[in-house]
Structure 1
Amino acid sequence: MHRKALKESLESCSAAVKLETKKHCLLSRTSFPIPVPTLRKLVRAAGLGCIAEISIGVVPPVPEYTVARLVHRGYAVHGINHEGHGKSSGSKGYLSSFGDVVRDCSDNFKSVCEKQENRLKKRFLYGFSMRGTVVLQLHRKDPLYWDGAVLLAPMCKIRSNPYMYRGNLALQTGRELLSVSLDTEKNLHEVSLPFLVLHGTDDVVADPSGSRLLHERASSRDKTLKLYPGMWHVLMGERPEDVERVFADVISWLEDRVGVSHDDVVLHIDVSHDLEDASSSTVTLTQDLVGIL
């Protein structure tokens, strides 16, 4: 489906809510599955997933398009704009504490997971770039709570890049991002949940060797690494045919773990980011049965 049509259909099945924390007012957004003509059956998602997205400067249409595609596959996504990002309060682009980001995501996602209609659903986390770091920190915070994770170009290891933007990043934000990246790399052996990690071999932002290390060191019994020769950092922003490959791998992995066939799935996606500023948020994926994630 054309991106414009996907965006319009996504806007028609989304709801935004403001959440009050001790420090900030955060925007939460949920997108619900909608009828898809190509699906033989329409079911509700049977699992719940969370996507952590805090990267600064991601091309807005990319996460928006990804969410729309998942919705059209029957998934529901839930997430929040982090402090200082999107329509949440706080100084723009400023993170006072990465721990606060993880805590906000954990509290918000668990409140969704514990709703009566979601208690029997499986729970999956999804993260791109630095959002992958949020996902791994959420797992470390509560190792047995999540059923799996999908990580696209996770920043387990930062690559030196002379062409990377070096503008006015808040010192505290940079300090928090560097600290959590080093901590994540040091503790990869603690990762024990099922996960799929996908990475382009020509990524000049997040070092692909970090994903190799994650796959090698993680104690998970169910772990899959997919490397895409010639692809860069934003896998969902590659050429259409390559995006199809990546998206197919993600869907196949998810469906294998919820035990459903392609034609029997509807994705519920709980989106944490606002579509007008999708660069910094955290998302939860959920599924039911008259649906699935």
Structure 2
Amino acid sequence: MDLALTSTFQPFSRPEYSHFRRNIPQPFFLRRQPTLPRQRVIIMAQKKAKIEGVSDELNSIASQNLDHASARRRVRSAFANVQQQLDHILFKMAPAGIRTDEWYEINSNGQEIFCKRWLPKPGVRIKGALCFCHGYGDTCTFFFEGIAKHIAASGYGVYAIDHPGFGLSEGLHGYIPSFDAVVDNVIEQYAIMKGRPEIRGLPRFIFGQSMGGAIALKALLKKPSEWDGIVLVAPMCKIAEEMTPPAPLQKVLIFLSKLMPQAKLVPQKDLADLAFRELNKKQMAPYNVISYSDQTRLKTAVELLNATKYIESEVDKVTSPMLILHGAADKVTDPRVSQFLYDNASSKDKTLKLYDGGFHCILEGEPDERILDVLNDIISWLDSRTSL
């Protein structure tokens, strides 16, 4: 689960932005800081709230600085069993017998990239491959574990990576110096995975959620022949006009991102109330202990804004079979944006499904019946486009 781009930019289109500027000393906007290297100029990280229901020792582990992958890996290891025991349908009803593997690949930039796969239990024939792109701040080792197991149980090899700077992959936490580099890493890693013997020659689909939808779309636009279709859940592919920062502010963001790209300066509200419809499921979100929840880094914000502008201008070039799923009451990524994508894509085979009353996290934060409906809609769509 991620809070996507609208949470990053929403405050700038509202009056509270003026309050935000008044609380920053003027010299911070007007000149470089003379005593610190440019890349070290940051806003203090938010203090993490205590996670209810776990020991003080685990809370101490979770509260450490997660800028580097080594720390995130230690925290994930400490919480792995706790996460799997949560009272959530994705974990409680996870199918048995699913084969899983985890490993690291060194990408072309020399970074260790966390990779994982889920395969059906032995004896179940694999119909195709589904390759996942997670959203902003997220990882493929929390809620997606349950999602992947459900899809794998229906006869699919499910593959996932953590993007550089997120989850268990190397890189400064929450930092996207280049959106294209994230997309190129997806293309590179999944090219390797698609060569694995268990799925070689089978239909292959790319699956993106929220910001991961923008990554998947751009990967598809760069290499359309590499995929047999795309699945998008609450995709971030266009910012609604009322959420777009005014042009002068965009120039300020771009200017500051060049001076201090890693700075945690862009305010971000806690939109968990808007992302999870069910309270008990929202209360499980803090257990995603290696997610990035601090203020958005300046360069990251600019890269995400530019990515959506590019995708908005290129959606008519999308020709692959496409399934778009979105909560109709989503206030994090606008369902009208999914309608825009559906209306403007050139795909002959395209499906848009809006879930009445659904919030942003339709695979994680909805009533159990809705979560199962969304999973079944994905599996049914895949089944109708694969043949044994």
SS in 2 for 1:70: helix
1:162-198 deviations in Å (ceiling 9; x for gaps): 9844952111111111110111112110111001001
What residue in structure 2 maps to residue 281 of structure 1? none
Alignment of 1:51 with 2:179, yes or no, is: no
Q: Which amino acid aligns with 2:382?
A: L
Instruction: Give the deviation of 1:2 after TM superposition.
Output: 5.2
The 1:4–1:203 alpha-carbon spacing in structure 2 relative to 1, beyond 3 Å, is closer
Closer, same or farther: CA 239–133 of 1 in aligned 2, 3 Å: same
Aligned to 1:174: 301
Q: Check 1:3–1:214 CA distance in 2 against 1; reply closer, same or farther (3 A cut).
A: closer
Find the partner of 1:187 among 314, 317, 333. 314
Determine the C-alpha separation between the residues in 1 that align with 2:332 and 2:140.
14
User: What letter matches 1:130 in structure 2?
Assistant: M
Gaps of 5+ in 2: 1-87, 244-266, 272-293
Deviation at 1:71, TM superposition (A): 2.1
Shift of 1:64: 2.2
TM-score when normalising by structure 1: 0.79
- 1:63 is displaced (CA, Å) by 1.8
Equivalent residue pairs, number: 253
Residue identity opposite 1:196 in structure 2:
L
CA distance in 2, matches of 1:163, 1:219: 34
Note closer, same or farther for the CA distance 1:205–1:4 as it changes in structure 2 (3 Å cut): closer
* One-letter amino acid matched to 1:233: H
Cα offsets for 1:232-281 (capped at 9, x unmatched)? 1111121011112211211111111114xxxxxxxxxxxxxxxxxxxxxx
Q: Which residue identity lines up with residue 374 of structure 2 in the other structure? A: V
What are the equivalent positions in structure 2 for 1:45-124 lying under 5 Å apart? 45-56=126-137, 61-124=142-205
Instruction: Give the aligned partner of residue 256 of structure 1.
Output: 384
Shift of 1:220: 0.5
In structure 2, distance between residues paired with 1:202 and 1:143? 31
Which residue among 4, 19, 28 is the counterpart of 2:115? Answer: 28
Contact kept? 1:34, 1:72, Cα under 8 Å: yes
SS where residue 182 of structure 2 aligns?
helix
Per-residue CA shift, 1:94-132, capped at 9, x if unaligned? 111111111111011111213444332001011111111
Tell me if 1:138 matches 2:138: no
Out of 288, 312, 326, the position equivalent to 1:199 is 326
Report Cα offsets for 1:192-215 as digits up to 9, x if no partner.
100100111111111111111111
TM-superposed deviation, 1:140: 0.6
Instruction: Please name the residue that 2:62 is paired with.
Output: none
The AA in structure 2 aligned to 1:34 is K
Work out the CA distance in 2 between the residues paired with 1:100 and 1:56.
16
Assess, with a 3 A threshold, how the Cα gap between structure 1 residues 6 and 76 changes in structure 2: closer, same or farther. farther
Helix, strand or coil for the counterpart of 1:26? strand
* Cα distance, 1:57–1:144 mapped onto 2, change above 3 Å: closer
Q: How does 1:270-289 map to 2 (within 5 A)?
A: none
- Residues 140 and 161, structure 2, Cα contact 8 Å, conserved in 1: no
1:128 has 2:209 as partner = yes
Structure with greater proportional helix content: 2
Please tell me the root mean square deviation across aligned C-alpha atoms, in Å: 2.5
CA contact (8 A) 1:158 1:205 kept: no
Change (3 A) 1:58 1:143: closer
| Corresponding residue number in structure 1 for 2:352 | 225
TM-score by length of 2: 0.60
| SS across alignment from 1:66 | helix
Percent identical: 34
Structure number with greater CO (CA < 8 Å, separation at least 6) is 1
The answer on whether the counterparts of 2:90 and 2:147 sit within 8 Å (CA) in structure 1 is no
Equivalent residues of 1:196, 1:225 under 8 A apart: yes
Q: d(CA) in 2 for partners of 1:219 and 1:125?
A: 18
User: Which stretch has the larger CA shift, 229-238 or 152-161?
Assistant: 152-161
Q: Are 2:138 and 2:166, in contact at CA under 8 Å, matched by a contact in 1? A: no
In structure 2, the residue matched to 1:209 is 336
Cα distance between partner residues in 2 of 1:218 and 1:20: 34
Higher relative strand content: 1
